[in-house]
């Protein structure tokens, strides 16, 4: 069931989104060759807790027998890791890497969810282009995130933009509704046909998140039960924000 947020709930989501954005900004400042993903994880947790929130990804259940709950406050996915990379003291960023940071702040009963892909040191122009196209795909999608449009309009705009630029979208994972739960209805694929899906209504809150692969769209899951990688070893980027459907333009809750 898709929930429509009240004015009070929207204010609480703005606060959760603000905290998530602050945490991403602090991580961006710290990104450099030689830092571990464990250190980035600690920065995120400290910032979120200092602002009265809780890192919602920490302890998130896998839902799979034998796979432990997620141990980090962030998902830190490097190079060919698409999503759900696990922070570790052993994973050290090096010059030429890209890293996708996905984090969720929870405060006063509501969530703010956002992801960014950061460049580490110097990378080829082709890598910069992947990161930029992934970010732009989000903004292409939310051009259609308006009251009265269909959910498929967003999905189609993202997928069409990505594929027209020579990249692939991940099909097994998608964006989602968000609110009192981290993952709510509806699911939001990064591909599809326009004019399909539910009609967008004022007060809906959605996490729109293009996941883009430089090569073929095929993915694999590592033995840790969490980390998703590209099958062909090509680079992947991720960009996400929590948005609010309004009477007019969508409001991005995780950008300040």
Domains of the chain: 7-252 (3.90.230.10)
* pLDDT higher than 90, residue 124: yes
Radius of gyration, CA atoms only, the chain = 17
Which of 238, 244, 147 is CA-nearest to residue 201? 147
Terminal CA-to-CA distance of the chain, rounded, Å? 29
How much is the average pLDDT of 229-250? 97
Q: How far apart are CA 114 and CA 131, in angstroms?
A: 15
108-119 average pLDDT score? 98
pLDDT at 76: 98
Indicate whether 84 pLDDT > 90. Answer: yes
- What's the pLDDT at 149? 98
Three-state DSSP string of 21-81 = HHHHHHHHHHCCCCCEHHHHHHHHHHHHHHCCCEECCCCCCCCCCCCCCCCCCEEEEECCE
pLDDT tens track for 134-171: 999 999 999 999 999 999 999 999 999 999 999 999 99
pTM: 0.97
Q: Is the peptide bond before 186 cis (omega within 30 degrees of 0)?
A: yes
CB 159 within 8 A of CB 110: no
Q: What does the alpha-carbon distance between residue 136 and residue 99 come to, in Å, rounded to a whole number?
A: 17
CA distance linking residue 180 with residue 107, whole number of Å: 10
Which token pair is 41?
Answer: 């994880």
Residue-level length of the chain? 256
Report whether pLDDT(256) > 90.
Answer: no
Q: What per-residue confidence (pLDDT) applies to 106?
A: 98
* Spatial CA neighbour of 113 closest among 221, 246, 254, 227: 254
Looking at every residue in the chain, the average pLDDT score rounds to 98
Tokens, residue 28: 């961006």
Q: How far is CA 102 from CA 5, 8, 40, 61, 113, in A?
A: 24, 26, 11, 16, 8
Q: Reply yes or no on whether the pLDDT at 207 is more than 90.
A: yes
- Mean pLDDT to the nearest integer, 63-76: 95
- Looking at residue 245, its pLDDT comes to 98
Asked if 209 and 170 count as a contact pair (C-beta separation under 8 A), the reply is: no
Which ranges constitute the DSSP H helices of 143-253? Answer: 151-164
CA atoms of 199 and 208, how far apart (whole Å): 16
What share of the chain in percent tops pLDDT 70? 100
Confidence class for position 9, pLDDT limits 50, 70, 90: very high
Q: Looking at the predicted structure, is the pLDDT value of residue 225 above 90?
A: yes
Assess whether pLDDT exceeds 90 at residue 121: yes
Please tell me the predicted confidence (pLDDT) of residue 230.
98
Query: Span 170-195, mean pLDDT?
Result: 98
pLDDT of residue 251: 98
Residue 139: predicted pLDDT: 98
* Structure tokens given for 247: 């009477």
């Amino acid at each position: 069931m898709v929930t429509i947020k009240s004015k009070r709930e929207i204010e609480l989501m703005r606060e959760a989104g603000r905290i998530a954005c602050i945490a991403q900004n602090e991580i961006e400042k710290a990104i450099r060759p030689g830092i571990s993903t464990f250190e980035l994880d600690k920065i995120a947790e400290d910032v979120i807790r200092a602002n009265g929130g809780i890192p919602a990804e920490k302890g998130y259940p896998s839902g799979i027998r034998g796979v432990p709950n997620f141990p980090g406050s962030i998902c830190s996915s490097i190079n060919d890791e698409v999503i759900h990379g696990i922070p570790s003291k052993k994973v050290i960023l090096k010059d030429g890497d890209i890293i996708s940071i996905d984090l969720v702040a929870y405060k006063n009963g509501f969530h703010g969810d956002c992801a960014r892909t950061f460049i580490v040191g110097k990378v080829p122009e082709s890598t910069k282009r992947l990161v930029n196209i992934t970010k732009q795909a989000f903004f292409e999608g939310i051009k259609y995130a308006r009251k009265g449009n269909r959910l498929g309009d967003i999905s189609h705009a993202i997928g069409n933009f990505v594929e027209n630029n020579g990249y692939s979208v991940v099909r097994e994972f998608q964006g989602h509704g968000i609110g009192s739960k981290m993952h709510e209805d509806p699911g939001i694929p990064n591909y599809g046909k326009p004019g399909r899906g539910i009609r967008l209504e004022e007060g809906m809150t959605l996490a729109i998140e293009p996941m883009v692969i430089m090569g073929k769209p095929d993915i694999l899951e590592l033995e840790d039960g969490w980390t998703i990688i590209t099958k062909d070893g090509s680079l992947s980027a991720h960009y996400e924000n929590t948005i609010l459907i309004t009477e007019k333009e969508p409001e991005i809750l995780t950008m300040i």
